[in-house]
Amino acid sequence: MDFLNSSRSISISRALVWLFGLCLVALDVGIWPVSRELCRVMPFFSQSDGIFLIVCLYLCNIPGFWLLCCMDRLLRNLRRGEVFEDKNVALLGKIGICCFAACLVCLAGCWRIYTLAAVALAAGFMGLIVRIVRDVFAQAVPMRSELDLTV
């Protein structure tokens, strides 16, 4: 029964990863009319600010899609019962790097669009959390190997 709940949870997580991927694609398509509307509604948001926002979004897409790919691979490994493995530690490391890369892009852009500072803070904080989980997994891999040898 516990495996069934775990499998269902992993399936839901994978579906959410794919949903976020679709949302990211929708944002890629919808950012052009959104930026035009922002320029029309907010007088302090200029056309060049809209283009700058679009560039930041597309630069964040590179680590964003890579992050979603790594998350999907991690969830597939978990579904197969491969939890404390070196490849999962590597995937968690890549996920953390993706968060920090998006953080850096947003930090570089917040001098022009101040609200990107909030996105940078969130991405950096998520990168920190993933990094800590990665370190926990890295410590658990040799412990699991030791326990496998003693049983």
The predicted pLDDT at position 1 comes to 43
The predicted pLDDT at position 131 comes to 97
The predicted pLDDT at position 78 comes to 93
The predicted pLDDT at position 2 comes to 63
The predicted pLDDT at position 38 comes to 75
Q: What is the mean pLDDT of each run of 10 residues along the chain (151 residues)?
A: 72 96 92 80 76 89 96 95 92 97 94 90 97 94 73 53
Q: Whose CA is closest to 120, among 110, 106, 99, 108?
A: 106
- Rounded-to-integer distance, Cα 47 and Cα 82, Å: 49
The predicted pLDDT at position 149 comes to 64
Q: Which two tokens stand for residue 33?
A: 């009319």
The predicted pLDDT at position 70 comes to 97
- Rounded-to-integer distance, Cα 98 and Cα 63, Å: 5
The predicted pLDDT at position 45 comes to 72
Residues in the chain: 151
**Within 10 Å of residue 103's Cβ, how many Cβ atoms?**
22
How far CA 130 is from CA of 3, 22, 42, in Å, comes to 24, 23, 36
Which runs of consecutive H residues, i.e. helices, occur in the chain? 2-41, 47-79, 86-109, 116-150
- Rounded-to-integer distance, Cα 79 and Cα 75, Å: 6
The predicted pLDDT at position 93 comes to 97
